Chain A
Amino acid sequence: MGQLSGPTDPTADAGWPADRPRKGFFTDTSICIGCKACEVACKQWNDNPRDGDLELTGMSYDNTVSLGASTWRHVAFVEQGAEQIAQARRSGRALVDLGMPTVRSAAPSPAPAPAGGTPPDVAPVDTTPPDTPEFRWLMASDVCKHCTHAGCLDVCPTGALFRTEFGTVVIQPDVCNGCGTCVAGCPFGVVERRSDGTAAPTTREGQRKGEQPPVPKRGVAQKCTLCYDRLLDDEIPACAKTCPTTSIKFGDREDLVAVARERVAELHAQGMTEARLYGANDRDGVGGTGSVFLLLDEPEVYGLPPDPRVCTTDLPEMFRRATMAGVGMLAGAAIAFLAGCR
């Protein structure tokens, strides 16, 4: 029986042999060019239909708006002025000063050396803090977090969701009955049923013309599988495969987190103190995530919850209280009974 919160190995907890490394993503948004190739590769590989109504949203270059039943990778675009950049830099630096776990752990690993330790064919890193630019355009590819403690999985009443041998969380559409409990169970708002929220089938398949295969798997919950089918064939996920700048990296989560920490340290050394990790902290509300992100601002800026918390975290407490209440009630009843007998 696995734990309900805190650091753990979810693969082993799920009963898989303990020697299997947990797989995950490291999405380094500092080198994302917003090309959306991940969105397209994901849709192609997973046969996901287009969604949305083919209208310009006006939200910068983002026209798919959020993760959903048919969009399992989503690129956010955020335009910011100097004030917001300075704020992001301050808050990032504060994370270091406070010794938040994500950055503190970076300390033991050697920070990428400035001039001295650089190999001869590598230009020395310019360590002068850059001026705060007047403007920046953040791009970040979001995806299912494949949490250590996955709310969706834990609340699923049918067993449609399961923990794979790669430590990821996958929905079996042929088992799912579309009850939607997992949708509420996900602290990130990732899972969506292919429906419009009522019992009726979805209308989000595009209202205009164009060749479009019939929308499959209506009514059931949908989300990223971390390309479970590809992993079984020793292929890497479609999004990571297609990413031209290696902003999306796939691999063993442990290695990726180490790489991510090095990268944060490197950016801080360059004066980009706005850099911070998201999901790398095993002590956060979901026990850390399989998909780790390097962000350049507060998570909220990207539409991510600042302090995600899996609903099962509270289960022991709830059980304890329920038990106490039950015991109390029993005791009360017993007392009442005994008192009544008297």
Chain B
Amino acid sequence: MANADCIILMGGNMAEAHPVGFQWVTEAKARGARVIHIDPRFTRTSAVADRHIAIRAGSDVVLLGGLVNHVLTHDLYFREYVVAYTNAATLLGEDFRDTEDLGGLFSGFDPRTGDYDPSTWAYAHPDGRVESTGGEEHGASASARAAGDQHGSGGPALEHSTVLRDDTLQNPRTVFQVLRRHFSRYTPEMVRDMCGITLEEFEYLARSVTENSGRERTTCFGYATGWTQHTLGVQFIRTAAILQLLLGNVGRPGGGIMALRGHASIQGSTDIPTLFNLLPGYLPMPSAGLHDTLADYLEEVASPTQKGFWAYADTYTISLLKAWFGDAATADNDWAYDYLPRLNGPHGTYQTAMDMLADKVEGYFVLGQNPAVGSANGRQQRMAMSHLKWLVVRDLNLIESATWWKDGPEIASGELRTEDIGTEVFFLPAATHVEKAGSFTQTQRLLQWRHQAVEPPGQAESELDFFHELGRRIRERLAGSTDERDRPLLDLTWDYPLDEHGKPDPEAVLSEINGYHVTGPDAGRNLSSYTEMKADGSTACGCWIYTGVYAEGHNLAARRVPNGGAGIAQTEWGWAWPADRRILYNRASADPQGRPWSERKKYVWWDEQAGRWTGSDVPDFPVDRAPDARPDPDLGGAEALAGDDPFIMQSDGKGWLFAPTGLVDGPLPAHYEPQESPVRNALYPQQQAPARVLFPREDNLGAPSADEPGADVYPYVFTTYRLTEHHTAGGMSRWSPVLAELQPEMFCEVSPQLAAERGLETGGWATIVSPRSAIEARVLVTDRMRPLRINGREVHQVGLPYHWGVGTDAVVSGDAANDLLGVALDPNTQIQESKVASCDVVAGRRPHGEALLRLVRDYQLRAGATVGTDSARITDPARETVEPDPGDDEQGSVWHTRW
């Protein structure tokens, strides 16, 4: 980021929520970079940016699509880069139909299920048939395992990498022409009408981005949950990815799209996942029925005849099984593949909560999160936990998720009575980050080792100690069991070396994650690179993308040379996955002939004399593959990568402007309004994202959208966010007096105009009402919020930080903003839409007890909110075409329940 010439911060509030990482923006700015912040609110990020551009929450695809259209229509794209490194020249199959053809839908939509069948999105096949896209999986099952976020370290599988190309980009079936047509309606005027951004602001933004892209310059994007937490969050990021690829800003210093992660190791917890749908290193969790054998599974992960390093997924998977099950994993039992659990549906946090309400879940571990405050529709979460038999909360403090049964909002409203709750709640104190050793993986995929500074107080212990001990006790209890069901637990390798206190050594875990040789002359030696892994059981590895962090037994994550050493890549600080590469796909920092695009942006290049790639970073490419090499694509794997295929984890070696597979809600981004919105979608007849995940339930009612009757009952848009002073749901900050005093009370931020409309004043109280709940907050009236003109009418936005919760143990408490949110999810990731919803605001404090429930109910009745509200898959069947016809009669059925 420090090397960027222009930084666009959008869908995030970097200075406030990522202040430490913001040092790189500050540095870029000191070197002369232009920084633009695009956000519904003027925040602390805006305060130090060159310019703030206010945007209506949830309209980001319109703005980014407008930029894509601007770049295409004014021929401002980086042609040489686009032709050589992206799939712009690739031809699509004949059957693909765009939103332009079908009134806002892509081909393959099934309105009965709300799923896409992606088979028509495929590349054209050289012999005329349509490329099969890695199995025939239907959108429903792909969404059920949140398949979209299983590509955290590279793209999805294609059967192989032979494609048809038109390097002139003229063929109407090239991705380039499809893109041009698709984005043609994203005009500056559309941006003005849908985002509330003036033509002048758009022009400034477009000029800033395009003038700071190309050979000599690079532009970088940074985003956070303002992009991800939407029903089409993945498509927000896709739009930015398309723009950055068109401008040649990927794989180069100062380019890219930075996912600003919200906690110290949120990146780490997707790499080595705490997610239901992933195994370490972005290997998917197997699904029942789809992946019954290891062969089925491996075929799904990657075809051996596709290009790039996913083709060796068998070595990664079998090494993982060897790391977990040791000697019990043999060739004869498919390396204990059957020990892995199978998915039989979506088991995300929201579906799990609803399963609790249906009494399908008995016990629940809550670790490092506070769902009673931090999850959307908090009431639903708390009611769900009241159905459990047991609940374990491990945290630093007695968070609201551990105390809802005695002092939660439902106790106050009379919906729950403590004596009626059968849930047995265990609170286990946890060690803080300074009380345990381990690694954090941050935004840049950098692993940074943390040494233990002090012993944890009292009974507090680290996650490692806790789970090690839990595993030890369970295995002790199961010892001697002959039940097949217990074999996976008993066969787990659970033999970490213990220190004098009987605690496992964290570095031993890192060593296992890194991987080692199991047999052969090097047995016991750590692996240096994932390319050393074998599929014959001779290597073990806990997470293939982390291989090398513990090469030769050295903890490279613990490197701490000040400023990372002399080079631009700061290679002597920590360790970056994969293979210590600081910039991914850095082959793209050189031109197709292997020369730097410019002296100024020189990074990795081809050294003709040495016959190798060299430069400031570890080349993200087969190091001796010459730029002009054109191996047979059918070789498969890294061997098939041509010298100009920089995107080595993509199955065709190219950056994907168009995603022929891998996404469940469309191969290109299209703007749809949020689940709840006072605005009619002006782009397409389709109002909401057709493939979004819905939960039409009485405890999850929605506000009527756009011009539907009752929409004026909840006339305002609200958005939720974090403040620097607090940490997410408050578990780490509201119990700290010196942090609590900095932002002591829940508040809402409103514009002077809205304040006048509703009689609000700074320091006074406001009640914010949604179809789920009503909360109270102190009021800050500020010019940092301003109404936007959308489609000719004024739209007010209300800002709500979400750090407070109702309880009695914290230094400060207050109503929780997330109680206002409903649950509607992005089908790619199962992430909730928590950055935009509808509400009403009235002056004064909220009622208490039963009166609060009555208030919420009255609003629902006035708005006519039912389980059918906002639940239609197709907004206007008369103007939208479903193609191909799914061949059944129930077309256009409303509020179909997916799960």
Q: Using CB atoms and an 8 Å cutoff, list the residues of chain A in contact with chain B.
A: 30-37, 39-40, 43-44, 48-52, 54-58, 60-61, 63-64, 79, 81, 118, 120-126, 130, 133, 135-139, 206, 208-212, 244-246
Residues of A within 8 A of B742 (CB): 36, 39-40, 63-64
Contact residues on B (Cβ < 8 Å of other chain), bracket: 35 or more
Could you write out 23 A-B pairs with CB less than 8 Å apart?
Answer: A32-B48, A33-B47, A34-B15, A34-B44, A36-B724, A36-B742, A40-B738, A44-B738, A55-B745, A56-B744, A57-B763, A58-B763, A61-B743, A63-B741, A79-B784, A123-B33, A126-B34, A130-B50, A137-B47, A138-B47, A211-B737, A244-B20, A244-B23
B762 interfacial contact with A, CB 8 Å: yes
Q: Name the residue on A nearest B747 (C-beta).
A: A56
Residues of A within 8 A of B50 (CB): 130
Q: A63-B741, A137-B47, A139-B44 are in contact. List 8 more A-B contacts (CB 8 A).
A: A54-B744, A58-B763, A58-B778, A64-B741, A126-B34, A135-B784, A210-B810, A212-B737
Contact of B15 among A35, A44, A57, A246 (CB under 8 A): A35
Measured in the bound complex, the distance between the Cα atoms of B897 and A144 in whole Å is: 63
- Quick one: given A34-B47, A44-B738, A212-B737, are A244 and B19 in contact (CB under 8 Å)? yes
B9-41 residues at the A interface, CB under 8 angstroms? 15-16, 19-20, 22-23, 26, 29-34
Residues of B within 8 A of A32 (CB): 48
Residues of A within 8 A of B34 (CB): 126
Residues of B within 8 A of A121 (CB): 600
A210 touches B724 (CB 8 A): no
Residues of A within 8 A of B599 (CB): 120
Q: Report the minimal beta-carbon distance from A216 to chain B, rounded to whole angstroms.
A: 14
Q: Report the minimal beta-carbon distance from B262 to chain A, rounded to whole angstroms.
A: 15
Q: Name the residue on B nearest A44 (C-beta).
A: B738
Q: Report the minimal beta-carbon distance from B27 to chain A, rounded to whole angstroms.
A: 9
Measured in the bound complex, the distance between the Cα atoms of B887 and A59 in whole Å is: 62
Number of A-B contacts (CB under 8 A): 139
B725 interfacial contact with A, CB 8 Å: yes
Residues of A within 8 A of B613 (CB): none
Residues of B within 8 A of A137 (CB): 42, 44, 46-47, 784
Measured in the bound complex, the distance between the Cα atoms of B740 and A36 in whole Å is: 12
Interface of A is mostly: loop
Q: Using CB atoms and an 8 Å cutoff, list the residues of chain B in contact with chain A.
A: 5, 15-16, 19-20, 22-23, 26, 29-34, 42, 44-48, 50-52, 217, 599-600, 723-725, 735, 737-745, 747, 762-763, 778, 780, 782-784, 808, 810-812
Residues of A within 8 A of B780 (CB): 56, 58, 60
Q: Which of A40, A49, A126, A244 has the most CB of B within 10 A?
A: A244
Measured in the bound complex, the distance between the Cα atoms of B15 and A133 in whole Å is: 19
Q: Name the residue on A nearest B738 (C-beta).
A: A43
Q: Report the minimal beta-carbon distance from A269 to chain B, rounded to whole angstroms.
A: 12
Q: Name the residue on B nearest A209 (C-beta).
A: B811
Measured in the bound complex, the distance between the Cα atoms of B30 and A34 in whole Å is: 18
Q: Report the minimal beta-carbon distance from A267 to chain B, rounded to whole angstroms.
A: 11
A56 touches B763 (CB 8 A): yes
Q: Name the residue on A nearest B782 (C-beta).
A: A79
B737 touches A31 (CB 8 A): no
A60 touches B724 (CB 8 A): no
Residues of B within 8 A of A139 (CB): 44, 47
Residues of B within 8 A of A245 (CB): 19, 22-23, 26, 48
Residues of A within 8 A of B23 (CB): 244-246
Contact of B737 among A122, A138, A210 (CB under 8 A): A210
Q: Name the residue on A nearest B28 (C-beta).
A: A123
Q: Report the minimal beta-carbon distance from A67 to chain B, rounded to whole angstroms.
A: 14
Contact of A135 among B42, B738, B763 (CB under 8 A): B42
Measured in the bound complex, the distance between the Cα atoms of B778 and A210 in whole Å is: 21
Q: Report the minimal beta-carbon distance from A27 to chain B, rounded to whole angstroms.
A: 14
Q: Report the minimal beta-carbon distance from A296 to chain B, rounded to whole angstroms.
A: 11
Contact of B19 among A30, A37, A60 (CB under 8 A): A37
B744 touches A55 (CB 8 A): yes
